[in-house]
Amino acid sequence: MKQRLVVMNGQRILQSEHEGVWKNQKVDKAGELKPGIYNIYMAEKADKSKRYDGVVVHTDNDNVYQKIDKKFVMHSRKDFDIVPVMGSAKSISYNDQGKVVVSVEAVTLSRGRSR
């Protein structure tokens, strides 16, 4: 089953596709998530030998979904002691026992324009 998140107007809408039509499953507050469409059905399973820096966009009973640049990664929820807050930027890696190690994502400097 394909699922996606639509974030707009301060709302986070979880949608599922049924016979080519997207239907709303759940609506709640978006919190810190930026507006947009998050195609979490395209998420790849996390490689436990890598570190992932990005925003946590969704959690369900089985997985934690994280946006890494333009891609999505899903981590097994059972590997977490404490599940991160949706919308938070986290660095997620795995220890030798396969458990998740979560830390605050390192801030990267970028050139931007401000007024």
Q: How much is the pLDDT for 114? A: 54
pLDDT 10s digits, 4-38: 999 999 999 999 999 999 999 999 999 889 999 99
Q: Where are the beta strands (DSSP E) in 1-115?
A: 3-8, 11-18, 21-29, 36-38, 44-45, 52-59, 63-68, 71-76, 89-94, 100-104
Does 83 map to a domain?
yes
Residue 112 has pLDDT above 80, yes or no: no
Does 110 map to a domain?
no
Give percent of the chain above pLDDT 70.
Answer: 90
Distance CA 112, CA 95 (A): 36
Does 114 map to a domain?
no
Domain that holds residue 57: 3-104
DSSP state of 41: G
Distance CA 51, CA 75 (A): 11
Q: How much is the pLDDT for 38? A: 95
Does 78 map to a domain?
yes
Report the CATH number that the domain containing residue 35 is assigned in CATH: 2.40.50.140
pLDDT 10s digits, 49-88: 999 999 999 999 999 999 999 999 999 999 999 999 989 9
Does 112 map to a domain?
no
Q: How much is the pLDDT for 98? A: 87
Q: Based on the structure, what is the number of domains in the chain?
A: 1
Tokens linked to 77: 């929820």
User: What single-letter amino acid sits at 46?
Assistant: A
Does 113 map to a domain?
no
